[in-house]
Amino acid sequence: MAEFTLVAVDGVARSGTLRLTHGTVETPCFMPVGTGATVKGLTPSDLHASGAQIVLANDYHLWLRPGLRVLEAAGGLHRFMGWDGPILTDSGGFQIFSLEGRRTIDDDGVTFRSHLDGSEHRFTPESVLDFSRRIGVDIAMVLDVCTKLPATREQLERAVVLTTQWAKRSAERSNDGATAAFAIVQGGLDRGLRERSARELVELDFPGYAIGGLSVGETRDELYDTARFTAELLPPGKPRYLMGVGTVTDLIAAVDAGIDLFDCVYPTRCGRTGRAMTRDGHFNIFNARYADDFAPVDPTCECRVCGQFGRAYLAHLFRSQEMLGPRLLSEHNVAMLNQLMRDARAAIRTGNWNVLAQSLLGRTKQSV
């Protein structure tokens, strides 16, 4: 189960501990995304070295490949992928948004046509939660309806209605045991619908709540305003999770809004394409200026990549199409965000969050 303890609050920013079956997570915390049982390019030891505490996987993708039979035969997802820390699985609700042309929604659930071979797969709140529990994850997100923005009020209201109905059915499944179920607040940018969704889900008394339906077409200001508004509607004694954010500015804004957990493919996607993340901003390792630049990717970073390799070496690896380049840059990007969250925890616990946040926001506006 999920046992959350709030350790410190500085303004609205919070730091706590989230005790799960496979370990305790210190919050605020960034979760690298391992959609199909792998954080792309990184081994479990790489993830530990980067400071990762918990990783995210996806029920839709795992359901299709390798499938429940293989995962159960392996002894569960942890043993299958060789990761001994906590795992959170998204329910497939995001695929309702991203695979809009390959799914059909009704009151009972959603039918997907596989993006791999066109086969049909039926997802219901019960089947998704059972799948997550049978593969032994620590946190299972309940099935929800994620709607792309902009959307009409009717579309958003329908998503809220179904999300609540499905959450009620999920809550009726026993929440005892190794896997905790978290509900997801929907409502788009409509504050009235956000209030309704949060109220209805909080009444179901889940052990944690996520803020969903963002990073799907709105502006960054709209994202930050809606995330802050929604966070204030959630119980202070339970973990809050903002789905799909992963830049330095995103994380600062989210922590400042009182949110505890975050995930995004962004750092590893950047790593695979030569985009280096630093506390001062981003830069493209293919730029000619880095061919003979022997400084670390980020001089303030304490990761093992920055401690051992320079920008020129990474630039050489990418230009030579060596697979080590994307691996090293992905590890650095994940480690940099984990260090950022470590510093955020320390600042909140010492009453210095605002100083750190303003310093970081000032730096990210600078050109690298």
Distances (CA, A) of 199 to 24, 104, 121: 28, 27, 31
Cα gap 264→286, rounded to integer Å: 23
3-class DSSP state of 63: helix
Q: In what order do the strands lie in the sheet with 87-90?
A: 29-32, 261-264, 240-242, 209-211, 180-185, 139-141, 87-90, 55-58
Read off the tokens for 85.
Answer: 């820390």
Asked about 250 being catalytic, the answer comes back as no
- Contact (Cβ atoms closer than 8 angstroms) between residue 279 and residue 296: no
Catalytic residue, candidates 90, 250, 260, 298:
90
Q: Which of 338, 346, 341, 269 is nearest to 303 (CA)?
A: 338
CB burial string 215-237: b at 16+ within 10 A, e below = bbebeeeebbbbbbbbbebbeee
Cα(195)–Cα(233) distance, rounded to whole angstroms? Answer: 7
Catalytic (active site) residue 263? yes
- Residues 34 and 41: beta-carbon distance below 8 Å: no
For residues 327 and 42, the answer to whether their CB atoms sit within 8 Å is yes
Single-letter residue type at 330: S
Amino acid code (one letter) for 142:
V
Residue 50 CA to residue 47 CA, distance in Å, equals: 5
Q: What tokens appear for 100 in the block?
A: 């809009």
Residue 183 β-bridge partners? 209
Catalytic residue among 46, 138, 263, 298: 263
Could you give the residue numbers annotated as active site? 90, 263
